[in-house]
Amino acid sequence: SDRHFEATVGDITISVQEGDLTQERVDAVVNAANKRLDHAGGVALAISRAGGRKIQEESDEYVKKSGTLTIGQAMHTGAGKMPCKYVIHTVGPKWHSHGDKDTVKAQLYEALHNVLYYATSRLKATSIAIPAISAGIYGVPVEVCAEQLVLATLKFVHSSPGNNTLRDIRFVNIDGQINRVFVRAFSGSL
């Protein structure tokens, strides 16, 4: 896929790339899921289609056993036919124009923190591809999304160098406009 930005923090490469998340050759691809793990739209549908039936089946089994997810929670399924090994599902917050923006920001930050922590502690993943969680159907302005995901990433790579297995963190979006906002957010904070 098309690379817009790349930076190295310690021994970790962070990049922003244009492309289809489902085609990334990484250990884990992140899904912007809903609480019911109903992969019916957006990047969730793309992942569910690319991976095949197995992903929705494993998701349904999980919800039947453990209940729905809360905002910011992370869990994983296999990746079916996709080139990655795992899908880490998390639920981002929804944007309400009259709601509390600080809560949404904190939830988005927390969601990515939990995903990165899960990827390294549970899956020992070395590479991960991340979409613009909440910036699609959930309506969070892309600037707000990029700000929080970038903050969570930089904080994570700086605070856990020793026990972090991740070496390659990619932000992947099919939409070039969104990638440009992520590049600006990284450029402004590095």
Binding residues vs ligand ADP (CB under 6 A)? 20-22, 32, 42-44, 46, 92, 131-138, 172-175, 178
SS3 (DSSP) at 188: helix
Phi-psi bin for 46: left (phi > 0), alpha (psi -120 to 50), beta?
alpha
User: What's the closest the beta carbon of residue 140 comes to ligand ADP, in angstroms?
Assistant: 7
CB nearer to ligand ADP: pick between 20 and 143: 20
User: What's the closest the beta carbon of residue 41 comes to ligand ADP, in angstroms?
Assistant: 6
CB nearer to ligand ADP: pick between 73 and 134: 134
SS3 (DSSP) at 91: strand
Contact predicate 82/50, CB 8 Å:
yes
CB nearer to ligand ADP: pick between 80 and 92: 92
* Residue ranges in 67-141 assigned as alpha helix (H): 101-121
Give Cβ neighbours of residue 50 (< 8 Å, ≥ 6 apart). Answer: 20, 22, 23, 80, 81, 82
CB nearer to ligand ADP: pick between 51 and 131: 131
